[in-house]
Copies of this chain bind each other. A is one copy, B any other.
Amino acid sequence: MARADGMKKFRILVQYDGTAYHGWQVQPGEATIQGELEAALERIAGAPVPVTGAGRTDAGVHALGQVAVLDLETRMTAGELLRALNSMLPRDIRVVEAAEASPEFHPRYDALSKIYYYQVFTGPVISPFLQRHAHHHRWPLDHRQMDQAAKQFLGRHDFTAFCAADSDVKDKVRQVAVAGLFRRDDLLVFVVEADGFLKQMVRTMAGTLIEVGRGKLGPDDLLRIIASRDRAQAGPTAPARGLFLYRVNYQAN
């Protein structure tokens, strides 16, 4: 897909362990995922190269399938770009796929849906090999009640009650296609797919489901909380370490 001007648009699939980062978006003086990618690209291109992601992840949040694009005037193939980036990126950020994309492709506007998952470990002692990637709640949670509550998120709702108060997004209506809780021994995984997410939406959903699991809220409270459009009615924002951006879905990709 070479263009007359020699510019190529590359689409990359990025995985990261967000533990050491202040989130996706570039912030002066802070290590961020976008910042690390742009720094590596500047070394490759010899000039600044902006990177656009499908969604901003918060400080400490992880990704198995972040999608981003960048424009580069280069004779490199996508495979060569992948290798060059990985040779310069820190080990906790990896470009796992790279391909040339059509000039019109936009990772955020073209996304049909995103899937996140949130991990909670409920045993008394969490393994050192899990602690970076799951929230540790030291007591058992009623996962059946939590799954029943999660189902209340399904459908089209105004999710103002599950959005950080400082968000400046106007339209807070989102369509949730999948919401459920899966359990493997002491690990609970909340999976949610929607056409878009508000600031801290999944973490607020997870924090509210934990209140259900503790018996502080019933599954039926969820519809009332959604209807209230009042952030104070929902549970606390669950810690970032349990959250993964799992996949971004596009048309026929």
Contacts and interface: CB of A to CB of B under 8 A. Distances in A.
Contacts of A46: none
Give the one of A62, A93, A96, A128 with max B CB within 10 A: A128
Interface string A130-145: 0111000000000000
Contact of A133 (B16, B95, B129): B129
26 contacts: A15-B127, A15-B128, A15-B129, A16-B128, A17-B128, A17-B129, A62-B128, A62-B129, A64-B129, A82-B125, A86-B125, A91-B128, A91-B131, A91-B132, A92-B128, A92-B131, A93-B128, A94-B125, A94-B126, A94-B127, A94-B128, A94-B131, A95-B125, A96-B125, A96-B127, A129-B133
Interface string A56-99: 00000010100000000000000000100010000111111000
Interface residues of A, number: 21
Contacts of A128: 15-17, 62, 91-94
Interface of A: 15-17, 62, 64, 82, 86, 91-96, 125-129, 131-133
The 3 lowest CB-CB distance pairs between A and B, nearest first, are A17-B128, A92-B128, A91-B131
A86 B138 CA distance: 12
Nearest to A16: B128
Contacts of A126: 94
Given A62-B128, A91-B128, A94-B126, 17 more contacts: A15-B127, A15-B128, A15-B129, A16-B128, A17-B128, A62-B129, A64-B129, A82-B125, A91-B132, A92-B128, A92-B131, A93-B128, A94-B127, A94-B128, A95-B125, A96-B125, A129-B133
Nearest to A126: B94
